Structure 1
């Protein structure tokens, strides 16, 4: 897939007007209702939020169809966007755990374990 999963996109499938609030919610992982309420409050409080909303709607690209495989994939990429160092640390930790478990299996398999050898012989 050529689309970047860490880029901001308009989410017109889940959007109400232009998909800006749904895109922000998808990008940050915040509930879309809270983003919409915040946008309305900012619009009434400052007035410039509507202009920013329209500029984002004009400048941002539409979200590609099938960008995420499932909800877990979307959550993973939201975590990557918020804190990439933590995400890479989690992946490294998982790989270290897998590597350690494989090393344990290799040690049991390659060591001379009489009990294991007897059990294998019984299975034959």
Structure 2
């Protein structure tokens, strides 16, 4: 079964305690230190019992991130972008394919045109 790359997972490989903060950081694409500091500040600033209850509930219900979910760091960054803004990600992929299609059409036009100079260069290489 293929694991979903857009789902929230506990990140046990980068965990300090249960992997909730590391999972949130991986999901959002930010540094885990900022998530940990934010959680501590939120707890100290008045959310004492609720932040701990939420932390334990997330740790209880969320699945651990499968090992090898991402093939590279670039793959992880791409999927973080998909999670944060899927429309932008699909637009970027569409734009890349349009650019490739345009370049391929230019090559095809140049190759199939009646370019005698190109034909002479090809004949000279034989």
- CA shift at 1:80, angstroms? 0.2
Of 78, 88, 91 in structure 2, the residue corresponding to residue 89 of structure 1 is 91
- CA shift at 1:44, angstroms? 1.4
TM score, norm. by length of structure 2: 0.96
Listed one character per residue, the Cα deviations across residues 46-96 of structure 1 (whole Å, up to 9, x for unaligned) are: 111111111000010000010000100000000000000000000000000
Residue of structure 1 equivalent to 2:7 = 7
Task: Tell me how many residue pairs correspond in the alignment.
Answer: 124
Of 107, 113, 119 in structure 2, the residue corresponding to residue 111 of structure 1 is 113
- Superposed CA RMSD: 0.7
TM score, norm. by length of structure 1: 0.98
Of 79, 101, 109 in structure 1, the residue corresponding to residue 103 of structure 2 is 101
1:50 aligns to 2:85 (yes or no): no
Superposed structure 1 runs of 4+ greater than 4 Å apart? none
What are structure 2's unaligned runs of at least 5 residues?
A: none
What are structure 1's unaligned runs of at least 5 residues?
A: none
